[in-house]
Structure 1
Amino acid sequence: MEKALFLKWLSEGTISIPHVLFKHYRSIGLQDEECMLLLHVHTFIESGNPFPTPEELSGRMSITPTRCMGMLRGLIQQGLLEIGQYEDHERGMYYEAYSLNPLWEKLLSILSGQEAESDLANKEKEEQSVYTIFEREFGRPLSPMECETLKIWIDQDRHTSPLIISALKEAVMTGKLNFRYIDRILFEWKKNNIQTPEQARTYGEKFRARQNKAAARPAESSGGRNQFSVPVYNWLEQS
């Protein structure tokens, strides 16, 4: 008997319900009873009945058919449920069916909005970190003009925070800690399609390797008698 009952349960199949619905249904204005009604509509659709009657739906809930009809009407007015007309090509006839696409679209808009808010918060946090790092390296608060320059690098020139910090490190390394020099570094990197700190590091290493090689030639031609140090790359002298 138990085995037969279990096999009957299996034959009726299972219904997949997005976890996001349970997590955010209140955010889109659904009450508990309305959410349960939509779940029953979803179950009927998945079971091959795309247009259950109020009587069929209320039979699975503790509400009357009249109450069920009113709730369905309210869900349609809220833009969470719709009734569409579809064509059955095999039978050559049209039929009506519920669609939960408005519900899924509403949930998607909620998630997209949350993701956008999260991205904005992360961006603001990164920008604030850039300002803090600059003030630490300069050993003083940034002037209004310097703050505006940073904002231009981020908002207009579209330099990422990590790349701006890499340019700052380059300026510190060369002993030319000023915004004009850093701006020139970022300009050269953008001109050479440098978009990440890793690419900037590789670009700088290749340049310095060429610079060292070129500086070694005069020493070799003079028999190694002239010893001199190779200057660090001056970005302001780059054409």
Structure 2
Amino acid sequence: MEKALKQFLQAGNMTVANLLLRNYRQLGMNEQELVLFLELSSSIQAGDSFPAIDQIASYMHCDSNQLYQLLHRLFEKKLLEIKSVTDENGKSHDVYQFDLMYEKLFWLLRQKNQQTQQQILVVDQSEIFQAIEKEFGRTLSPIEMETIEQWFSE
């Protein structure tokens, strides 16, 4: 096997949620912060839960100070946190965690789903009003509209 192909295969792959790729702006992230997330996630998925800042900075072709600023912004936006965990040997070490970011992402998804459901409900109600008016052969009176609205709310 060719050396380059072997290196390519050994480098591995990582998984990124499409929901994040399509909504990182709504979370308040810019492209640099997203790339930092991708780099950290890649390291985490490869088994290094707290990669060295210098290593990530070299991957991103920036200096350590810039990277610390990006990390700080992710902390401020409550998208990233550092937790201390104890391994099976009783040794404590730090890990990067993006649980807060995923919680915000799921909240954003729930909010979008609720908006969609509300829009569907409004359309359904409008269609029901139109169907009743068609059956009656006239427009509904304000009292009739109020009665139907009460039915919807019940």
| Higher RCO (CA-CA < 8 Å; seq separation 6+) | 2
Query: 1:87 aligned to 2:83?
Result: no
Letter in 1 for 2:79: L
Long gaps (5+) in structure 2: none
Count of matched residue positions in the alignment of Structure 1 and Structure 2: 154
Question: Helix, strand or coil: the match of 2:43?
Answer: helix
How far apart are residue 116 of structure 1 and its match?
0.6
CA contact (8 A) 1:15 1:43 kept: yes
Further displaced range: 5-14 or 67-76: 5-14
Give matches, 1:79-228, under 5 Å. 79-89=78-88, 91-156=89-154
How far apart are residue 19 of structure 1 and its match?
1.2
How far apart are residue 99 of structure 1 and its match?
0.5
Counterpart CA distance in 2 for 1:108 and 1:63 is: 31
Counterpart CA distance in 2 for 1:42 and 1:106 is: 17
Counterpart CA distance in 2 for 1:110 and 1:126 is: 24
How far apart are residue 17 of structure 1 and its match?
0.9
Alignment correspondent of 1:45: 44
Counterpart CA distance in 1 for 2:91 and 2:61 is: 35
* Superposition CA RMSD, Å: 1.2
The TM-score with structure 2 as length reference comes to 0.94
Alignment correspondent of 1:26: 25
How far apart are residue 146 of structure 1 and its match?
1.0
Counterpart CA distance in 1 for 2:100 and 2:59 is: 23
Identity of aligned residues (%): 25
Counterpart CA distance in 2 for 1:12 and 1:60 is: 14
Letter in 2 for 1:147: M
Counterpart CA distance in 2 for 1:111 and 1:103 is: 12
Letter in 2 for 1:142: L
- Larger Cα-atom Rg: 1
How far apart are residue 109 of structure 1 and its match?
1.3
Counterpart CA distance in 2 for 1:17 and 1:5 is: 25
Alignment correspondent of 1:69: 68
Alignment correspondent of 1:232: none
Question: Helix, strand or coil: the match of 2:84?
Answer: strand
Alignment correspondent of 1:183: none
Q: What is the CA deviation profile of residues 15-60 of structure 1, one whole-angstrom value per residue up to 9, with x for unaligned ones?
A: 0111111111111111111110111010110111111122111110
Long gaps (5+) in structure 1: 157-239
How far apart are residue 10 of structure 1 and its match?
1.7
CA contact (8 A) 1:54 1:66 kept: no
Counterpart CA distance in 2 for 1:66 and 1:60 is: 14
Counterpart CA distance in 2 for 1:16 and 1:4 is: 25
Question: Helix, strand or coil: the match of 1:59?
Answer: helix
How far apart are residue 11 of structure 1 and its match?
2.4
